[in-house]
Amino acid sequence: MAELFQARTVREARELLGVHIKTGRRAERVPLLEALGRRLAEDVAAVDDVPGFDRSTMDGFAVRARDTFGASESLPAYLDITGEVLMGCEAAGDLEVGQAWRIPTGGMLPPGADAVVMIEYTEELDDRTIGVTKPVAPGDHVVRAGEDIAAGSKVLPAGHVLRPQDLGVLSAVGLSEVSVARPLRVGIISTGDEVVEPHERPGPGQVRDINSYALYGQAVRAGAQARICGIVRDNFDLLLERLQQAVAECDLVLLSGGSSVGTRDVAAKVLDTLGSPGVLFHGISIKPGKPTVGAVVDGKPVFGLPGHPVSAMVVFNLLVTPLLKYGAYVDDPLEFPVRARLKRNMRSAAGREDYIRVRLNREGGEITADPVLGKSGLISTMVQAGGLARIPADKEGVEAGEYVEVKLF
């Protein structure tokens, strides 16, 4: 068993867990309209060009560009109108030298045409003749076949999380369903003799279960199928039984409470009896969230999170969210996407990463971060905050006016 509070850095904790976690995930095919936010299980390649034909991007006239060279308002290039492109139809003929075809936005260019003159730069002399007042070059106002997506090219890679625009590109290449990774099943257990269900009125010394519901929300937002497994008293045998069941039924298990050094805290001991390799670390060098237990049982990660709601949610963001989103710990350049100017001095201890709850505002054209002060047991401070600002381990604090990196909630 890992030595109590031989604290690891976040990076070290991730590396220790990553060695033992089995990252393989089962796949399932789902309709495209149910795939938003899901992770692709395989590469997607285009079978056909998109678009499949040269098409106009403007209302106007399909022409041979060289027939317009030198055209101006004072000396238009005169062309014969010999056809019209209908939407959704192939051109019924070829465009010859000195000719123009009427064409709508999205219409298919007739063979022989290589550009489109916008209707604004033409003047119709009669039903059969136009004057072009501005020249076009080959390819002007035209999307070539395959210009958007070329046949055989990789459209999206395996592991990509599908966004709204990705549904559009998948539909463009003719897919109505797609193979995606099944969401991880997350089991959530709260521990403590003092914890009661939300619908119960707490007695003296009791508190309602906050962590199960906050962690459930975080898990679902990260793309998991979450399940609350109930409250377990501070009893080794009861906790062992509940954890064994959760590990058997879920891909990842969260246990909140029972990770500190109190004499009745049994979580770490129970976690170390579940299976190999067991507890990998007990303590990470962050604030809040130091008394965190990280374990792996038969390839499945199991976390003993602190009982304080803020601490539990901070650790979830750092250690659990990446696993649910990516299936592994990866270098994510957007993990802390916002750079903000801190509005007050904040102290820290050297060698420890601090995560500060902050409100974000825009002042004078830049983003500012105003710390939300309060102890880690106060869930209201998370409600008031918009993100977590990080103070790196090599700093002993941040002065007002300095810039910090912020992870958004």
* Angular region, 327: left φ>0, alpha ψ -120 to 50, beta rest: left
pLDDT tier at 92, thresholds 50, 70, 90: confident
Query: Is the Cα torsion angle 185, 191, 196, 198 positive or negative in sign?
Result: negative
Which pLDDT belongs to residue 272?
84
The domains found in the chain, sorted by start residue, are 10-25+182-326 (3.40.980.10), 27-49+157-181 (3.90.105.10), 55-143 (2.170.190.11), 338-408 (2.40.340.10)
Q: Is 191:215 a contact under the CB 8 Å cutoff?
A: no
Which pLDDT belongs to residue 177?
96
With b for 16 or more beta-carbon neighbours within 10 A and e for fewer, the 200-226 pattern comes to eeeeeeeeebbbbbbbbebbeebbbeb
Percent of the chain's residues with pLDDT above 70: 97
Is pLDDT of 288 > 50? yes
Which pLDDT belongs to residue 263?
43
pLDDT tier at 3, thresholds 50, 70, 90: low
User: Poorest-confidence range of 100-114, 203-217, 268-282, 286-300?
Assistant: 268-282
Is pLDDT of 1 > 60? no
How does the average pLDDT of the chain come out, rounded?
93
Strand 225-232's sheet: what is its strand order?
225-232, 185-191, 252-256, 300-305, 293-297, 277-282
Which pLDDT belongs to residue 265?
61
* Chain segment 243-261, per-residue pLDDT in tens: 999 999 999 999 998 666 5
Q: Is 404:391 a contact under the CB 8 Å cutoff?
A: yes
CB neighbour class for 267 (10 Å; exposed up to 12, middle 13-18, buried from 19): buried
Q: Which residue has the tokens 């990842």?
A: 252
**Quick one: average pLDDT of 192-196?**
92
Model pTM score: 0.85
* Chain segment 111-169, per-residue pLDDT in tens: 999 999 999 999 999 989 999 999 999 999 999 999 999 999 999 999 899 999 999 99
